[in-house]
Structure 1
Amino acid sequence: MMLTYEATSRFVQAGEYRVHYHEVGEGPVLLCMHGGAPGAYGWGNFGRNIEALARHFRVIVVDLPGYGKSDKPDVSTGRNKMYADTMVALFEALGLERVNVLGMATGGAVAIRLAADYPDVVDRLILVSAAGGQTMFGLRRRDSASHVYYGGDGPSLQKMHDYLSQLLYDPSLITDDVLWERYEASVDPEFMERAPEGRTPVRHTPPDLWKRLDEIQAQTLIVWGRENRAQSFENGVFMLSRIPHAQLHVFGECGLWVPYEKAEEFNSLVVNFLSGTKRRS
């Protein structure tokens, strides 16, 4: 089977929403949930990790509702709960009982809610640059914040380049293919009309999500980039202090988009963590 976007593309009715996802591989299930912002979607965040991870797991990469080819409901509040409920409906539709969950940025916030609300369905948990922590200090953002992307004269390749430069420590990784892929997704008319994140400076992460961290009972791997300017690695340290069964890995010379910027090392880290000895109850 060719590991292309088209060959791995699937749809499923998950509760109220038709959800688009990619699936490949066999073995323990690994659900991957992407971050949010202009042009975000599942394959765009994890497409470069799927081949390596699919050698060990049944990998399911979703487009969260509002992104990619999934339905785009108008959700202004309670978004993380809606996402968590939808993922459980997706598990039921696919006949899955327990899954490993990997969430990045916005997807990390959803993963926290999923693990807290539905502990029986989450086996192991991986939080990458996850929203939902707390910090006192952090790196200053570079100029060109994401919330201005759709403002002024509207989206442009230069604005997308400026935005992606905030996600990565090494700007040379912003290839023409990556730039065009993300830009084209960001100017999709339906995405522009209903994108749940990226068009305004409003933060959608509930400010009290951090209060639920100590409810997580799953073995948890927290992954961060030291140069993450959107979510300082201090958030990861905070999560480590709150989640009972957690470990933290911080990559130097790395920004928010760890699975892309440190792909080989990240894939090995995930495989080793998910293949480790299960904690006895």
Structure 2
Amino acid sequence: MEKKRRKLTQCPNCGYTFEEVNNYCPNCGQENHDLNVPVKHLVEEFLEGTLHYDAKFWVTLKYLLFKPGLLTEKFILGQRASYVPPFRLYVFISLVFFFMLAISPNTMQVGLNQEEAMKQLGPEEREALAELDSLQGKVPAPIPAQRLKALVDRAQSNDVNRDVLREKLIKNTSFLMFLLMPLFGYLLYLFYRKLRRNYVEHLMFSIHTHAFFFILFTVYLGLKFFLPEGVDIFAAVVLVTAVYVYFAMLRVYKQGYLQTLLKLIPVSFIYLLCLAIALLGNVVVSLMLS
């Protein structure tokens, strides 16, 4: 959709006199567009130009949610002008996701306070834990285990600002997910190397898949505000994600049901292993820097 410009007669930056066809100043390059307007117009332009908040956005969202792999397939076929670009889509959706993650009450928690956890145990469990602690005191733990235990103890103490720690965890997690996204694409590239497709095609698949997961997890975080205490649907979120990725792979790579499943399993296992290691490292680093 073409941008509606409020053209000036003279460049406010360098004084060049515009012609009617000039969308940018030929002298200094500044855009020929008057920004001295009410805030309402600026917000509308932001949604239009940055987020493509129009029919294009809603069509893209519909295909992303209900047509697994279709956006990637259309990108590969060169049908791109009718949809929000993959990177822009990912950035917008991830911003919403990490905002929800930041305000959600029961996420990114390191653990319960030790006293609170002890209160939830019965007399027998407390005695068993006390005996285990006494045995651990007699047997020296490996150095990495000692350091990890020290970090956990520090997280449970009052020495750590929980708000600062939470902020660091969320910030680092957003960066980690951005790094893991091309990793998932590279795993697909390796497992489908016989198809001789460019890595960019696998990367687009990864971007759309992560965007779907962020939307699904955003809905999950929103539902946690209303679900009764003790009710968790995280397993359902994981199942829906797995089914979505499976059908997306069927559409994009066009291989049989069993062949696709035999590639989904190792790709998912390797990716989830890398994700677990990255998240554990994130917790350790965040604790050390808090």
TM-score range, shorter chain: under 0.3
Select the structure with the greater relative contact order (CA < 8 A; seq sep ≥ 6). Answer: 2
> TM-score, normalization: structure 2?
0.22
Point out the structure with max Rg over C-alpha: 2
Q: Which has the higher helix share?
A: 2
Q: Which has the higher strand share?
A: 1
